[in-house]
Amino acid sequence: MSMSSGFLAPEAHLESSERMSGALEDLREKYDRIAEVEETKARADAAVARAEEAAAAPDSEDEWLDEMERDPEMEAIREARLKQLKEAADARKEHLALGHGEYREIVEEEFLSEVTKSKQVVLHLYHAEFPRCKIYDKHLRILAPKFVHTKFIYMDAEKAPFFVGKLKVRVLPTLVSFIDGVAVDRITGMEGLGGDEFPTARLRNRLKVSGVLKVPGRPDDDDDGSDEEAGWGSDGERRDGATYAEHRAARRARVRVGGAHGEVGET
């Protein structure tokens, strides 16, 4: 009840304050609900906008792939790559048909056919009783399947006197490299390989000197850095002072099958 002074009694003031607080709380809850609805709507609108943008974007994955397929330059690159792969597969098939990919023994009657039908050939002339010949066997069996474009064969020198004489082979084992039927290089005994315990990579690098391991379509084969341990420095000079070019020129006296028969011994 009010008093004449115009002030409210304590009870009336408390009741008025409670009503005011309740009204403010109701108003706050109302605005909180409105804000929550607005926030939810904003998130939904943003999600829809992102979905529409992704669907319409020119760089969406599906459209990007479609554009790449229609691009004439990409089409040319793809066709060239497919052609390259097909040619490589055809060449591998042809090489395997010629006996590449494995280390095979031949007899004298097969020599000319084996050497002339393949562009690149490594021939090991061996003697059955010479232990060092077996060292070459081990390494060449490793290299043969790795260099399918090169044919790896071996022939018993005692059973091939005619061609041993033509090639002027006097020391066994001897490796002869042929390119297009021409003898372009040879390794006599273990010359330049550093003894009997040499790694396969060293023999591989030595065979590369003549180009007999060259991969068609590549400027040169990958190298694992073992040239230096085989006697070559990073500047292309041997530790004995000869340059790589000088050594190669000395080794590449091209000799077509011809010459006189000679004695054969072990080194």
Phi and psi at residue 55, to the nearest 5°: -70, -35
The stretch 227-256 carries a mean pLDDT of 43
Residue 216, C-beta contacts closer than 8 angstroms, at least 6 positions apart: 91, 149
Name which residue leads in pLDDT, 7 or 200.
200
Residue 215, number of CB atoms within 10 A of its CB: 15
Distance CA 66, CA 84 (A): 24
Judge whether 261 and 164 are in contact, CB under 8 Å: yes
Among 190, 189, 209, 221, CA closest to 249:
209
Residues 6+ apart with CB under 8 A from 209: 185, 247, 248, 251, 252
Q: How confident is the model over 62-82, as pLDDT tens digits?
A: 776 776 677 777 778 878 888
Q: Which band of pLDDT confidence, cut at 50, 70 and 90, is reported for residue 45?
A: confident
H or E segment at 153?
A: strand 151-156
What pLDDT is attached to residue 220? 59
Is the pLDDT at 11 greater than 80, yes or no? Answer: no
Coil/strand/helix, residue 148: coil
Residue 25 has pLDDT above 80, yes or no: no
Taking only the tens place, the pLDDT of each residue in 123-179 is 999 999 999 999 999 999 999 999 999 999 999 999 999 999 999 999 999 999 999
> How far is residue 233's CA from residue 237's CA, in Å, rounded to a whole number?
5
Average pLDDT over residues 228-233: 42
Average pLDDT, the chain: 76
CATH of domain 100-266: 3.40.30.10
Helix (H) or strand (E) holding 178, with range, is strand 174-179
pLDDT at 227 over 60: no
- C-beta separation of 240 from 231 below 8 A: yes
Predicted TM-score of the model (pTM) = 0.56
Helix axes 200-208, 131-143, angle to 10 degrees: 80
Q: Which residue has the higher pLDDT, 239 or 150?
A: 150
% of the chain beyond a pLDDT of 70: 64
Q: Which two tokens stand for residue 10?
A: 């304590």
Burial tier of 123 (Cβ tally within 10 Å: 0-12, 13-18, 19+): buried
Predicted pLDDT of residue 119:
95
Q: Which two tokens stand for residue 146?
A: 């790795």
Q: How far is CA 159 from CA 162, 186, 267, in A?
A: 9, 20, 19
Query: Phi/psi zone of residue 215: left (φ > 0), alpha (ψ -120 to 50 degrees), beta?
Result: beta
Q: What are the residues facing 152 on neighbouring strands? A: 103, 122
Tokens (6 digits) for 141:
């069996």
* 105: nearest Cα among 153, 152, 163, 159: 153
